[in-house]
Structure 1
Amino acid sequence: MASEIIHTRINVRNLAIGYASKKKITTIAENISFSANKGELIALVGPNGIGKSTLIRTLTGMQKPISGSIKISEVEMSTLDSLSLASQISAVLTEAPASTNVTAYELIALGRQPYTNWLGILSQTDKVAVNKAMSVTETAALQHKKCFELSDGELQRVLIARALAQDTPIIILDEPTSHLDLYHRAYVLKLLKKLTKEAEKTIIFSTHEIGIALNLVDKMIVLQKDSFDYGSPTELAEQGVFKNIFPNNTIDFDADTMQFRVKI
């Protein structure tokens, strides 16, 4: 039987991330190497301030790397123009929409910008993509609401719908469950899992919900001070990676149950 073909959508090698100015280069994290394949859900975890958002912005092309290589479907990201990149990667970042006075439908339809004409008029194909995105995210009932009228959970689903309407093979999200209650955190993460399995999206998201992510994701990127780890949750647990994420006098990780526990 022929082996299954692996479709690598993101290939990162020896990446260093941070900020560069004319006078100074500030490196936040380095020696980052991993690949993300078709249909994989990948969580990016690590302590606050370790560089998760910087890595997310670098992977989306919004921030230049200090050094190293990022290939999107075997093409160097640095060689892609903005339109080509927008056809490959859609992003859901922590920033609020520029205008909250637009309707949910209008916000979702913005995902079609890479494909519309200069007037931004939606074709029938665009409308079908928007309607499909609303169906998958269960946001059709919200389409006529202004964004300022939406709850945090509703707005997050609308933003994911916008990324889906963009119809890219890769979706990258920065803290998609922040400010959500437990139900909506689980709902959003299960939705992301569904998109990888049913639509074969490649999804990378940063999160503090390590406990929930452990049960859902295919791979995890673990950023810590002076270290980088990548693999399946089981592989990382066997390597003892999770025991070092939090101070061991406060939180312990049980590799048998794959759970974090507060020490009392």
Structure 2
Amino acid sequence: MLELEHLTLGYGERILLDNVSARFSAGQLVALLGRNGSGKSTLLRAVSGLGRILKGSIRLAGRELQTLPPDKLATIVATVTTERVRIANLYCEDVVALGRAPYTNWIGRMQAEDARIVARSLGLVGMGSFARKTMDQMSDGECQRVMIARALAQDTPIILLDEPTAFLDLPNRYELGALLRRLAHDEQKCILFSTHDLDIALTLCDAIALIDTPHLHVLPTAEMARSGHIERLFRNDSVSFDATTGTVRLKQ
């Protein structure tokens, strides 16, 4: 579904990922972990076609990323960014309808099937009753659900999210993580999201991709917890990681 083949990424003279290879499958929720500045956003941008690849290649649904024209790429990968979105003059259903742009005719007119997909996408994220509300009237968590619905309406096999829980409180973080897990499993999407929430990654995700510059370790979640990679990368004087329970604790 999503394959990295001997991929090297960086900027200037700094190499963030060097000759890394990995494969992510349909029906998987994968957390992308790493320290600040390690290259999480850089990797997501590269996969979405917005970042420069120094060496190697990325394959999306069996196609080389570099060979995909923008209109075709938009039917394979959808991206949800970390920015707070507040669109005062558009209803939620109009925002979600933007995801149908790769499929509408040259004047952007939606057909009945497009409207059905928009309604279904809102329903899948539990926002069906918000269709005729504007996003300036909603909480951060509700707005994030609407943006995920837009990505679902884009009807792509791969969805990328950059820090989707960044502005949410703890209950909403877990609720959003559970939503992403359900969508990956039920809709057979390959969902890759960057996060600093170790607890959510270890509790809800099928696999973890850990950037330990310039390496990328990808393992099923339970194996990653036992591997020592997380403990080694995030060990410091104030935080400890318990591989037995998969939890992060503040040291007393």
Equivalent residue pairs, number:
252
Letter in 1 for 2:5: R
TM-superposed CA distance for 1:75, in Å, is 1.2
Query: Does 2:187 match 1:195?
Result: no
Contact 1:46–1:222 (CA<8 Å) still a contact in 2?
Answer: yes
Counterpart residue type for residue 239 of structure 1: S
CA distance in 1, matches of 2:168, 2:241: 24
Task: Report if aligned partners of 2:84, 2:140 keep a CA contact under 8 Å in 1.
Answer: no
State which of 222, 230, 252 in structure 1 corresponds to 2:240. 252
In structure 1, C-alpha distance between the alignment counterparts of 2:73 and 2:28, rounded to whole Å: 20
Deviation at 1:31, TM superposition (A): 2.6
Q: 1:41 — aligned with what? A: 29
Partner Cα separation in structure 1 for residue 88 and residue 40 of structure 2: 26
Counterpart AA for 2:134: K
What SS class does the counterpart of residue 242 from structure 1 fall into? helix
For 2:129, the equivalent position in structure 1 comes to 141
* CA shift digits 1:220-240 (9 cap, x unpaired): 110123432110122122221
1:56 paired residue number: 44
Matches within 5 A, 1:147-158: 147-158=135-146
Structure 2 residue matching 1:191: 3-state secondary structure: helix
1:104-119 aligned at under 5 Å gives the runs 104-119=92-107
C-alpha displacement at 1:101, in angstroms?
2.9
2:3 aligned partner = 11
Number of the residue aligned with 1:173: 161
Cα drift, residue 248 of structure 1: 3.1
Name the SS for the 2:237 alignment partner: coil
String of CA shifts for 1:72-117, please: whole Å, max 9, x gaps.
1221100000111111111101234495432211110000000001
CA RMSD across the alignment: 1.5
- Match for 2:2: what amino acid? I
Unaligned residue ranges in structure 2 (runs of 5+): none
Residues in 2 aligned to 1:144 and 1:161: alpha-carbon distance in whole angstroms: 14
Aligned to 1:204: 192
Query: Distance in 2 between the 1:192 and 1:237 partners?
Result: 21
Structure 1 position 37, deviation (Å): 0.7
